[in-house]
Amino acid sequence: MIRKPVDTGAPDRLYTVTGGRSHADDTFDLVTLVVSECEPAAGTQSEHVRILEICRHPTALVEISAELRLPITVVRILLGDLHATGRITVRHPRAAGSVAALPDTALLQEVLHGLRNL
Amino acid sequence: MGSATSELPARRTPLADAAETGLKIVVVGGFGVGKTTMVRSVSEIRPLNTEEVMTQAGVGIDETTGVQEKTTTTVAFDFGRISLTERMVLYLFGAPGQERFWFLWDRLFSGTLGAVVLVDTRRMDDSWYAIDRLEHHGTPFVVAVNRFDGGGRHSLDEIRQALALPEHVPMIDCDARVRSSVKHVLITLVDHLYDMALAQERTP
Ligand SMILES: Nc1nc2c(ncn2[C@@H]2O[C@H](COP(=O)(O)OP(=O)(O)OP(=O)(O)O)[C@@H](O)[C@H]2O)c(=O)[nH]1
Ligand SMILES: [Mg+2]
């Protein structure tokens, strides 16, 4: 039995978008920055085209999700496809690791500096 | 639409091409406490929103269909962005503190720097649960009191007692509509993280 990835108001659309897959790649963080490595080829799935266009400049997963109006899980699946075929590169967050690990003081100092300059 | 936030560009402005490190801070609080306002006050983009959906196999079997029940959890949240340097970008999330949200905490906010618990003194009960869950997840946080009444009927000490908040958790007054006030809240949080990290680095 093929399970739908998610149940929402538009399950059919999400089902089509992900080809019925439900397993998202959790290595993509909400703030993983995505960069396109190519222009979309003819015949590319429309969501993939949109992502490749948006990510001409670095773009966080969560911004892609907002722009495409697709849940995070679905975007993770789509990014997994593009990454596996080398059409995007990703810049994962430094601070994301174990849940409760504190980042180092050097990073925090840089953050403080940036905030004070706001 | 859009006129209320006319100072922010309608189209999403791209990040610098050198951007390489994304960071997260989460603002949690009950309904209408000022989460979106807080995000908007410091964001360089108009706040965007999105959602995460999770379908879990339920415990029971539906008696009429014989199919295993599934429960769907949908959590909507909004976010803004602050480019700290050419390479470093901070995302600020406004997230609802209600129960179902915490099921998705790890999938959305693992690796988060820390959290701001936004408190409305007229509805302090809403904050209890958020504080409890953050402690459970080991996420460092500060408590920001959004003074809707403009003044202080309750002192910060009284609020600390009412929330049973440990002494080491920083508390601060704020007005979520004011950029400098929100900036101060964020600096208080990161200062707190810095102190914690420093103490940790000094302990062999
Ligand atoms: N007086 C005062 N009003 C505020 C403050 N912060 C927010 N508000 C107002 O409170 C209302 C709710 O603010 P929102 O930012 O939408 O609150 P929210 O937490 O995002 O609300 P939900 O997403 O619906 O849970 C808005 O009308 C804000 O203008 C504050 O610090 N002082
Ligand atoms: Mg809101």
Residue B110 domain flag: yes
| Protein residues within 5 Å, CB atom, of ion ligand 2 | B 35-36
pLDDT digits (tens, 9 = 90+) for B91-114: 999 998 777 788 888 888 888 999
pLDDT score for B91: 98
Residue B68 domain flag: yes
Domain count, chain B: 1
- pTM exceeds cut of 0.80: yes
Residue B163 domain flag: yes
Tokens of B188: 């208080």
- Beta-bridge partners for B118: B144
Residue B52 domain flag: yes
A62 to chain B: which residues are within 8 Å by CB? 48, 50, 79, 91
Would the pLDDT of B63 be above 70?
A: no
Tokens of B93: 């999330």
In chain A the domains, ranked by start, together with CATH numbers, are: 18-117 (1.10.10.10)
Q: Whose CA is nearest to atom 25 of ligand 1?
A: B31
Nearest partner of B175 among B129, B120, B97, judged by Cα: B120
- Of chain B, the percentage scoring pLDDT greater than 90 comes to 59
From the list B42, B48, B197, the residue facing A104 with the nearest CB is: B197
pLDDT score for A3: 41
Instruction: State in Å: Cα B47 to ligand 2 middle.
Output: 10
Q: Are A6 and A71 in contact (CB under 8 A)?
A: yes
Nearest partner of A77 among B32, B52, B153, judged by Cα: B52
Domain interval for residue B142: 21-202
Distance CA B34, CA B173 (A): 13
- Helix (H) or strand (E) holding A93, with range, is none
B15 to chain A: which residues are within 8 Å by CB? 33, 57-60
Residues 6 or more apart whose Cβ sits within 8 Å of residue A91: A32, A33, A34, A35, A58, B19, B20, B21, B22
Residue B3 domain flag: no
Would the pLDDT of B138 be above 80?
A: yes
Interchain proximity A95–B113, CB inside 8 Å? yes
Rounded to the nearest 5 percent, the helix, strand and coil shares of chain A are: 40, 10, 50
Would the pLDDT of B198 be above 80?
A: yes
Residue B11 domain flag: no
Q: Whose CA is nearest to atom 24 of ligand 1?
A: B32
Residue B10 domain flag: no
Residue B6 domain flag: no
